Structure 1
Amino acid sequence: MHNSVRALPRFVGAGCQRALNKITERAGHCKRFSSMVSQPVKIEAVAERTCQYGQGVKWHELQRHVLYMDSKAGYIHRWNAETNESDKHMFHDHTTMFLPVDKDKYMVSIGPRLCKFEWMGRRITPLVTVDDTKRIRLSDGSCDALGRVWFGTSHVAYAAADAPTKGALLCLEPDGALRKHADGVNVSGRVAWSLDRKTMFYVDPVARQIAAYDFDIDLGKICHRRVLVDLAGKNSLSRWGYPTDIAVDSDCNLWVTCCMTGRIVKFDPSTGTELNSVSIPSLRPTSLCFGGDHMDEIFVTTSRLGASDKELEQFPLSGSLFRVTGHGARGLLENRAPSF
């Protein structure tokens, strides 16, 4: 399927092209794989109706677990890919970020704070308070190859036309320092990087854009923000909906959850072209990640929050965690957060 969307002509320098020319090299601390031979797409619900609003799905390769959150209810879920068993923990506050550190340790956002969390002992250790006004929420986060944790913030009323404050893009340095890198962000989903680590990608579901910055891995700085794909064109809501999360595959294509369309979509970031899509048995896909032993599976969270009875009748598995195979792509292992 080759459908073009409105995209600005300037891309990310030659970053992705250089990466594609070096397809046999490793990118940072991530494993890279070649594309697979096409096979029928298979979609299965591996954890049914576990969330009001699933978010922040991640593959924990040390444990072979899939981690994801119900951000509205404050639960962290773990699904074991070997045993098909699930467990969860409740934090009693808005939770949007859950990053593996090692086998049993994690970084988690609890309300306005970033904390360390040990699953076995259920021990929480606060690291930093991002905002104490109760007007700011944290978004999902990602760790770069040098141990910086990047995440966004949003005003609690970000969807309102008269929201008094927009969010920001922040970074927690390995030394514990918290730095702001960009203002005027509505809501940022999880950020991701190009294979050569010279471009940072993110999605803004309110503006309905896929955007990018030039990224300096050594200095930990971003600059030259631009819109790669603008999904807010005329009559485009039913087709592309709201982009809520992003992942990069080993061919440097962008996979995006398009909420309110029931699709995850693969885009060519250099042209803004839709290359492929997979329909999910829920109108509201919310986050995605690559995982599995060969990084050839895509895990997708979904939402049932705000769904009408008619919608739930049509999509009864909304709120489930899905696994997609046979889609013809392989992903990259994400960097684990440092032990602060």
Structure 2
Amino acid sequence: MALNKIQLLVLLCAAIEIFAGGRGTTPLIKNVQKGGVHFEGPHWAEDENALYWVDIQAQKTYRLDWASGNITSKTIEYGPVSLVVRVKDYPKLLLISARSELYFMPWDGPEGDSSLRLLSVVDLGLPDNRFNDGKVDAKGRLWAGTMGKETDGEVDLDQGSLYLVTQENHLHPKVVLKPVSVSNGIAWTADNKYMFYIDTPTRNIDVFNFDLETGSIRNRRTLFSFQANNITGLPDGMTIDTDGNLWIACFNGGQVIKIDSRAGKLLEQHKLPASKVTSVMWGGSDYSTLFVTTSKVGLNSIQLTQEPEAGSLYAIENTGCKGLPQNQFVFTNADKY
């Protein structure tokens, strides 16, 4: 299979490092896509060998074909789109959020909002609320949270909720956590005994005991505090690797950090040329590529000059770690719903 330009550059950098006497352990950061406003929500679709992600402010969903390097996009005119996951057994059929609603969207369908099929509506009576982050568990259920009104970077606190959305309850999604201010990163251990969760303004990564069969969480406690560990910025998106370590985007912190999910210990810090790091997700042919989204929202003209690549999608290679396949939303006959 022919390699695209992104993959060739990564291999070339690795070869140069080895030739220079390195041991191939220095992470390599590649800018995959520039020009975004507020990139978020990366989701790897293994059966498509493709990455999906969104631009919240620009109201776009993107798709990167990893084999060819080709990037395409679709605009969602209805409102901010912040969440995108694949629907299981239906290639290129996505579940996306727009405002406080969830829709099915076929990637190869017609342009514009005419291809959207409404699945769920939440936070009724709160017109300024919108969905933010979301992930699918091993049973194919969507865990997705909302946030309150945002004005000049400040969010109305305690206005959102964390929802559990299934085929059975999609008309009335279950509230599993309330109140929430800015619902963000979610991850599970490989044995599905623990779920990690971020409500961004708390500056904490919390952990729950998780029951996969019932989809219930209990015994919430703080695993890692940004304040206690002197980490700059706010915790945003999050993912987990095969060793059970968490990788967390630091919004206004300009880095991705790696922490031990058992001891809550800071293990690594990976700097990026953008301060507003929004989310992370493993992908690539062997799940060794860490995709990182960033934003330029709120940066002034001086800061934009200092951070010309803000609002980009990055790929970090050679971390020595790998991720796990991402779960996909389960919905029988989703193509006919």
**Match of 1:224, SS?**
strand
Q: Partner letter of residue 138 of structure 1?
A: F
Match of 1:79 among 64, 78, 93: 64
SS in 2 for 1:62: helix
Task: Note if contact 1:59-1:290 (Cα within 8 Å) is conserved in structure 2.
Answer: yes
Q: CA deviation at 1:184?
A: 2.0
Q: How far apart are the structure 2 equivalents of 1:300 and 1:206?
A: 21
TM-score normalised by L of structure 1: 0.84
Map 1:162-181 onto structure 2 (within 5 A).
163=156, 165-177=158-170, 178-181=173-176
Find the partner of 2:107 among 119, 123, 130: 119
Partner of 1:99: 85
* Mapping of residues 166-205 of structure 1, within 5 Å: 166-177=159-170, 178-205=173-200
Supply the AA of the counterpart residue of 1:244: D
What CA distance in whole angstroms lies between the structure 1 residues aligned with 2:150 and 2:280?
25
Matched with 1:220 is: 215
SS of residue in 1 equivalent to 2:185: coil
1:265: which partner in 2? 257
Which of these residues, 204, 208, 219, is aligned with residue 209 of structure 1? 204
Gaps of 5+ in 2: 1-22
TM-score, normalised with respect to structure 2: 0.84
| Counterpart residue type for residue 218 of structure 1 | E
The CA deviation string for residues 10-54 of structure 1, in whole angstroms up to 9 with x for no partner, is xxxxxxxxxxxxxxxxxxxxxxxxxxx8622111101112x1111
Answering whether residue 318 of structure 2 is matched by residue 326 of structure 1, we say yes
- Give the corresponding residue for 2:52: 67
Preserved contact between residue 47 and residue 79 of structure 1 (Cα < 8 Å): no
2:51 is equivalent to residue 58 of structure 1: no
Q: C-alpha distance in 1, partners of 2:301/2:276?
A: 14
How many aligned residue pairs are there?
Answer: 299
Partners of 1:58 and 1:285 lie apart in 2 by 16
Q: How far off its partner does 1:320 sit?
A: 0.8
Q: 1:141 aligns with which of 134, 156, 174?
A: 134
Tell me which protein shows more helix as a share of its residues. Answer: 2
Q: Distance in 2 between matches of 1:184 and 1:131?
A: 12
2-structure distance, mates of 1:60, 1:303: 23
Amino acid at match of 1:43: I
Structure 1 counterpart SS, 2:202: coil
Read off the aligned partner of 1:63 and give its amino acid letter. Answer: E
Kindly state the Cα deviation for residue 164 of structure 1 after the two structures are TM-superposed. 6.8
1:247-326 paired onto structure 2 within 5 Å? 247-326=239-318
Structure 2 counterparts to residues 152-163 of structure 1, below 5 A: 152-157=145-150, 163=156
CA distance in 2, matches of 1:310, 1:274: 32
| Distance in 1 separating the partners of 2:70 and 2:285 | 17
The Cα shift of 1:145 comes to: 1.0
Long gaps (5+) in structure 1:
1-36
Answer with 216-225 or 181-190: which moved more. 181-190
Aligned to 1:31: none
What's the CA shift for 1:157? Answer: 4.0
Contact 1:60–1:100 (Cα < 8 Å) also in 2: yes
- 2:25 is aligned with 1:45: no
Report Cα offsets for 1:53-85 as digits up to 9, x if no partner.
Answer: 111011111222211111112100112212122
